[in-house]
Amino acid sequence: MGELTSLEHNAVERAGAEPMLAQVEQWATVNSGSSNLVGLDTMAAMLAEAFSALPGTLNLVQAAPVKHVEPDGRVRELDHGRHLHLMVRPDAPVQLLFTGHMDTVYGADHPFQSLTWKEAGVLGGPGVADMKGGLAVMLAALRAAESTSLASGLGYEIVINSDEEVGSPSSAALLAQAARGKRAALTYEPAALPDGTLAGARPGSGNFSFVIAGRSAHAGRNPEDGRNAIVAAADLALRLDKGKGPRLSVNVARVDGGGPNNVVPDHAVLRVNLRPATAEDQARAQSLIDAAVAMVAAEHDVQVHVHGGFGRPPKPMSAGAERLFGLVRQAGADLGQSIGWQPSGGVCDGNNIAACGVPVVDTMGVRGGKIHSMEEYLIVESLAERAALSALTVLRLAAGAQ
């Protein structure tokens, strides 16, 4: 372990002593899939109780309205759970942002619902790594920071949203508002690799639903009078797929529509995800979409309505981000932890925060692995390890580093 001041040493010790494992075990027994509003409400209440140990003003914020395209093309408002928002000392000279999410990818009817010990020190269960373990780490680090004399000069906001796993559509505005004026941000997604490696640059991500309206006709008597929406959707899918490359991934995910074999289908919904590496690649992707839609509409004589957009902007490694990563790496070195980072193909709320001009490290959570699967696991010793890393990072930011 490197040189720590007595204040830092005491805070690091306190962070590691917090009851994080018990919290994870309690929180992970609650199913909080992104669409499970009852479970999310229970989870929000539990988190509000736990985070009320911090000073400041805590609110459970109603989710903003979100439009969703149904398989039949109709658009309706989709409900999401409440988001936790805590504001502490908004007039302090150093302002930071901490974010996490309470939702998981495991719905109320998913078979993965219980905790199991895979081996000594390795806990398996839904959300233990992504990211109920990370939420426990965040709280432990902030409780430790609050116990120091540096706390009076440190202000921060916390946002724990209920919709991160579906792209944060109802919390994006809250995240952007909370990011305003912040010196730096830490987000508690699990480490990119089980060894603790952080995620650096990330691509952007856009989810699109293309609603195609054709014209029905009898498949045998007068098919020429029809306008086949399924064929138009297939053509659009192929045109978009041809645009993929090293700096733009295109995933044609689903087609809904069609009907009886003897009817020319007049309806289809095409779902596509695009991930551009940079802002320039995102602009190229948007041009690809616009051109493909126009050509398909003209050549097939159909109407194409586009819903969705790039909800996650690309997150490059800016100079500010590199300085923040350097600070985290030095904190790790002083704690005897080797901290590296690498680009990631995944996206998260760190994308949105970086787009606000705020340096962010978005994998400050636990070490674990196999997230988004029934094999998800948490390496328990990483709770204390990552809480110490966060606590030391926060104290050095509060002291004016970076």
Q: What is the pLDDT of residues 302-327, one digit of tens each?
A: 999 999 999 999 999 999 999 999 99
Q: How far apart are alpha carbons 227 and 257 in whole angstroms? A: 13
Question: 109 lies in which domain range?
Answer: 6-201+315-398
**For residues 388 and 16, what is the distance between their CA atoms, to the nearest angstrom?**
6
Mean per-residue pLDDT for 38-57? 98
3-state secondary structure of 376: coil
- Cα–Cα distance, 83 to 173 (Å, whole number): 12
* Residue 1 counted as domain residue: no
> Does residue 157 sit in the same domain as residue 193?
yes
Q: Strands, E, within 287-330: which ranges?
A: 303-312
Same-domain pairing of 175 and 259? no
| Region for 371 from its dihedrals, namely left if φ exceeds 0, alpha if ψ lies in -120 to 50, beta otherwise | beta
pLDDT confidence of residue 310:
97
| Residue 146 is assigned to a structural domain of this protein | yes
Which of 246, 277, 312 is a domain's end point? 312
- Select from 347, 348, 341 the least CA-distant residue to 321: 341
Beta pairing partners, 5: none
pTM attached to this predicted model: 0.96
Going by C-alpha positions, the residue among 195, 199, 180 that lies closest to residue 87 is 180
Structure confidence by residue, pLDDT tens digits, 2-29: 689 999 999 999 999 999 999 999 999 9
Amino acid letter for position 47: L
Q: Residue 269's domain is classified under what CATH number?
A: 3.30.70.360
50 lies in the same domain as 197? yes
* pLDDT (0 to 100) of residue 84: 98
- Among 312, 331, 350, which residue terminates a domain? 312
Identify any residues that bridge with 61 across adjacent strands, giving them in sequence order: 83
What's the mean per-residue pLDDT of the chain? 97
* Residue 167 and residue 39 share a domain: yes
State residue 3's pLDDT score.
Answer: 85
Q: What percent of the chain has pLDDT above 90?
A: 99
Give tens-digit pLDDT for 101-140. 999 999 999 999 999 999 999 999 999 999 999 999 999 9
Q: Is residue 106 part of a domain?
A: yes
Residue 352's Cβ-count burial label (10 Å; 0-12, 13-18, 19+) is: buried
Encoding tokens for residue 372? 């988004």
pLDDT of 64 above 70: yes
Q: Is position 188 within any domain? A: yes
Q: List pLDDT tens digits, range 188-211.
A: 999 999 999 999 999 999 999 999
CA 216 to chain centre: 41
Rounded-to-integer distance, Cα 392 and Cα 4, Å = 9
- Ramachandran angles phi, psi of 31, nearest 5°: -70, 120
**DSSP tag of 201:** -
Same domain, 172 and 274: no
Nearest partner of 378 among 151, 128, 180, judged by Cα: 128
Give strand ranges (E) for 7-146: 57-61, 66-69, 75-78, 83-88, 94-101, 116-119, 122-124
The stretches of 101-167 forming alpha helices (DSSP H) are 133-146
**Beta carbons of 341 and 317 less than 8 angstroms apart:** no
Q: Report yes or no: 101 and 162 within 8 Å, Cβ to Cβ.
A: yes
Is the residue at 194 inside a domain?
Answer: yes
CATH number at residue 353: 3.40.630.10
| Same domain assignment for residues 319 and 306 | no
Q: Say yes or no: 180 and 84 in one domain.
A: yes
Same structural domain for residues 76 and 111? yes
For the record, the structure tokens of 126 come out as: 């839904």
Q: How many domains does the chain have?
A: 2
Look up tokens 């000594």; give the residue: 120
Residues 180 and 259 in one domain: no
Regarding whether 151 and 59 lie in a shared domain, the answer is yes
For residues 96 and 20, membership in a common domain is answered with: yes
251-281 confidence digits (pLDDT tens): 999 999 999 999 999 999 999 999 999 999 9
CB atoms within 10 A of CB 223: 13
Residue 1 has pLDDT above 70, yes or no: no
Q: Look at residue 402 and tell me whether its pLDDT is greater than 90.
A: no
Q: CA 30, 138, 322, 198 torsion: positive or negative?
A: negative
Query: 47 lies in a domain?
Result: yes
User: Residue 306 falls within a domain, yes or no?
Assistant: yes
**Do 231 and 192 share a domain, yes or no?**
no
Considering only the C-alpha atoms of the chain, give the largest distance between any 2 of them, rounded to a whole number of Å: 87
Could you read off the pLDDT of 321-362 as tens digits, one per residue? 999 999 999 999 999 999 999 999 999 999 999 999 999 999
Q: Return d(Cα 241, Cα 235) in angstroms, integer.
A: 10
**pLDDT exceeding 70 applies to what percent of the chain?**
99
Contact between 229 and 302 under an 8 Å Cβ cutoff? The reply is yes
- 233 located within any domain: yes
Predicted confidence (pLDDT) at residue 401 exceeds the cutoff of 90: no
pLDDT for position 246: 95
Per residue in 272-286, is it b (16+ CB within 10 Å) or e — as a string?
Answer: bebbbbbeebbebbe
Last residue of a domain, one of 257, 278, 312: 312
Distance CA 22, CA 316 (A): 36
Please state, in angstroms and as integers, the Cα–Cα distance from residue 294 to each residue in 187, 205, 291, 308, following that order. 40, 22, 5, 17
